[in-house]
Amino acid sequence: MNFGPVMGGPGGPTVFDPYTLPSDDNVNAYTFCVELKGSQWFLQKGKMISYYGRIEFNGIGNGRFDRLLRTSFHSPLHASDWVVAEGQGKMLLADRAFDVNSYDLDDGNLTIRSGNLLAYQPSLALKQSIVPGFLTLIGTGKFVAASNGPVVFMEPPLRVDPQALVGWADCPSPCHHYDHGYMSGVMGGLRSLTGIGGTSGEEHQFEFVGAGTVLLQSSEMLMAEQSVGAVGAGAATGNAQGVPGAGQGPLGQMGVPRMPGQLGDLQRRLGL
Amino acid sequence: MLAVDLTGDAVKAKNGSMVAYDGQMAFKKMTGGGEGLRGMVTRRLTGEQMTVMEVQGHGTCFFADRASEINLVNLRGEKLYVESSNLLCTDAGLRTGTTFTGLRGASTGNGLFTTTVEGSGQAAIISDGPAVVLRVSAQYPLSVDPGAYIAHTGNLQQSFQSGVTFRTLIGEGSGEAFQIRFEGEGLVYVQPSERNTIGGDV
């Protein structure tokens, strides 16, 4: 008998070892290899699938990283999702079998959906974008991001579906755009309220203007993410006015963002 | 999708994984995975249940399972260790069995036992995204996240490695607290995706 075409030629699939694995490059479309030579990388939790060599993973609340955090991590709301990998060796990163790619920033800035960012070099600084759920990277260095389907690069002026948006670089933050014609009038109002008569599901878009690049993915399926910087319900009643994360979202239920060194996951799990 | 050309011989495949065929095929459910009464009892006891059918005939048979990626493994007398849920199809001549995996099984949430495939021939294993094959040799041990591990071949010792410190207990876990460390000589298959595991959150 004969089992169909064998992957990777007659010899079967390619076998990798520490020498043949690429350095800071893709192994295949879904897996990325990072080489560490005593250096450090920021890594989102749970994206490491395997590694050769001696690599340590430490939560970023670790006191040793104080100086590193001061220069390259400015997102306390995401502190519990990130770890620092350091040591010698090669590690493989992947995310739910999504497409993975690395990008180089040269004294630039790029904003990306928080769930899509896998890892970045500490020469970049990570900051929270003012758009909820997005993170901004500023500086020079390499980062690794995942997308559901390949990334498509577009130039503004452009309106995009919020769910297909992966990120944007070098252009001003987007604004919301509502399809006015569809929402106006009695019939339009009825339609958007009840869905009777059909809604296209595309009444709400993000609008980009100015010079820059917009990154889109070819799927509208999103990963669960933390809403960052959303002005919560508390703002209306006068409590915690304008304080990011003080209202809704998974963290908002606790009322306070988790800071490094705080009782984090365990606290939430125990319902403290 | 996996295409298997059959010329009167047979393959064992996961029950219900056939999507199409041409030619003449006979499908027969194999009670107990064709491992006899002892195998049946072992599987029942260990929780590594596997419903298997035997496909025999002339022509081409196509197998697929939930659009997952299919990886072919050529075996020349060595032993393949694979989770029963990741095994799609094997040559009928390959022997399948169960073995104790120790602590790794407990951490992947797949139980303490795993399926072995032994003999000469081909086996097809499924993964979420194409698997990366990594060589382990004496100088280069490999650490794998339990959620990304799917299979391995060769003479490998697995040990369970834990990075749990007091920081984990105060909620400052690294998210990579548990790893399986492979030492020896062999190949390890990892998938570019992580199953939800008990250790995954820590």
Calpha distance B180→B144 (Å, rounded): 5
For residue B192, give the nearest of B111, B141, B143, B133 by alpha carbon: B133
DSSP A50-66: EEEEEEEEEETT-GGGH
pLDDT digits (tens, 9 = 90+) for A208-255: 888 888 998 887 665 554 444 333 333 334 333 333 433 333 433 444
Reply yes or no on whether the pLDDT at A96 is more than 80. yes
Mean pLDDT of B159-182: 63
- To the nearest whole percent, how much of chain A has pLDDT over 90? 15
pLDDT digits 0-9 by tens, B32-63:
555 666 666 666 666 666 778 888 889 888 88
State the Cα–Cα distance between residues A250 and A228, nearest whole angstrom. Answer: 10
Q: How far apart are CA A230 and CA A18, in angstroms?
A: 44
pLDDT of residue A95: 87
Residue A255 pLDDT: 42
ipTM > 0.90 for the complex: no
Distance (Å, whole) CA A195 – CA A183? 11
Given A18, A27, A55, which is nearest B132 (Cβ)?
Answer: A27
Q: For chain A, what is the mean pLDDT?
A: 74
Residue owning tokens 């040793």? A64
Q: What is the pLDDT of residue A7?
A: 44
Query: Which residues in chain A have their CB less than 8 angstroms from residue B10's CB?
Result: 1
- DSSP letters, B56-90, are EEEEEEEE-STT-EEEEEEEEEEEEEE-GGGEEEE
Q: Comparing A197 with B60, which gets the higher pLDDT?
A: B60
Residue type, A97: A
Task: Name the least confident of A97-106, A227-236, B126-135.
Answer: A227-236
Check if the beta carbon of residue A174 is closer than 8 Å to that of residue A204.
no
Q: Tell me, what's the pLDDT at B44?
A: 63
Chain A interface disruption, residue of B60, B70, B134, B180, most A CBs within 10 A: B134
Per-residue pLDDT band for B193 (boundaries 50, 70, 90) equals confident
| Closest residue in A to B75 (Cα–Cα) | A12
Contact A136, A118 (CB under 8 A): no
Chain A: closest CA distance from residue B99 (Å): 24
Amino acid identity for residue B51 in this structure: T
> Which has the higher per-residue pLDDT, B1 or B108?
B1
Q: Is the pLDDT of residue A121 over 80?
A: yes
- Does residue A10 or residue A84 have the better pLDDT? A84
Cβ-nearest to A6 among B72, B132, B193:
B72
pLDDT digits (tens, 9 = 90+) for A122-163: 999 998 888 888 899 999 999 999 988 888 898 888 888 888
CB contact under 8 A, B137 and A97: no
- Under a CB-based contact definition with an 8 Å cutoff, are residues B52 and B117 in contact? no
Residue of B nearest to A90 (CA): B142
Is B135 within 8 Å of A97 when comparing Cβ atoms? no
Closest chain A C-alpha to B117 CA, distance in angstroms? 16
Q: Residue B165 — pLDDT band, cuts 50, 70, 90?
A: low
Placement of tokens 């990366």 in the chain: B132
What's residue A140's pLDDT? 92
Task: State residue A184's pLDDT score.
Answer: 60
Asked whether the predicted pLDDT for residue A203 surpasses 80, the reply is no
- Which residues in chain A have their CB less than 8 angstroms from residue B131's CB? 13
Cβ distance B173 to A31 less than 8 Å, yes or no, reads no
- Looking from the CA of B4 toward its CB, the CA atoms found within 13 Å total 35
- Domains annotated on chain A, with CATH: 25-147 (3.60.160.10), 154-217 (no CATH)
Three-state secondary-structure class, residue A41: strand
Q: Is B201 within 8 Å of A265 when comparing Cβ atoms?
A: yes
- Which residues of chain A lie closer than 8 angstroms to B2, CB-CB? 3-4
For each of the domains in chain B, give its residue range(s) and CATH number, in order of start. 2-201 (3.60.160.10)
- Based on the number of CB atoms within 10 Å of its own CB, is A108 exposed (0-12), middle (13-18) or buried (19 or more)? middle
pLDDT score for B199: 47
Taking the CB of residue B78, how many other CB atoms lie within 10 A of it?
Answer: 16
- Asked if pLDDT for residue B144 goes beyond 60, the answer is yes
What confidence score (pLDDT) does residue A185 get? 61
**3-state secondary structure at position B46:** helix
- Quick one: pLDDT at residue A82? 85
pLDDT exceeds cutoff 70 at A39: yes
Is the distance from CB of A61 to CB of A73 less than 8 angstroms? no
Work out the pLDDT band at A199, boundaries 50, 70, 90. low
Q: Reduce the DSSP state of residue A160 to 3 states and report it.
A: strand
Query: Can you tell me the distance from the alpha carbon of A119 to that of B177, in angstroms, rounded to the nearest whole number?
Result: 18
Per CB-CB distance under 8 Å, the chain B contacts of A9 are none
Q: For residue A78, give the 3-state DSSP assignment.
A: helix
Encoded amino acid at A182, one letter: Y
Average pLDDT of chain B, as a whole number: 77
pLDDT at B127 over 60: yes
Q: Are B29 and B15 in contact (CB under 8 A)?
A: yes
Specify the 3-state DSSP secondary structure of B38.
helix
Name the residue among B80, B53, B72 with its Cα closest to residue B1.
B72
Question: In the block, which residue shows the tokens 């339609």?
Answer: A191
> Cβ–Cβ contacts within 10 Å for residue A198, how many?
7
Contact between B133 and A13 using a beta-carbon 8 Å cutoff: yes
Residue A33 has pLDDT above 90, yes or no: yes
Residue A223: the pLDDT is: 53
Would you say residue B128 has pLDDT above 80? yes
The reported pLDDT for the residue numbered A8 is 39
User: What's the token pair of residue A196?
Assistant: 């009777």
Query: A52 vs chain B: nearest CA distance in angstroms?
Result: 5
Q: How confident is the model at residue A31 (pLDDT cuts 50, 70, 90)?
A: very high
Residue in B49, B157, B176, B183 with CA at minimum distance from that of residue B103: B157
Query: In the prediction, which pLDDT does B84 show?
Result: 78
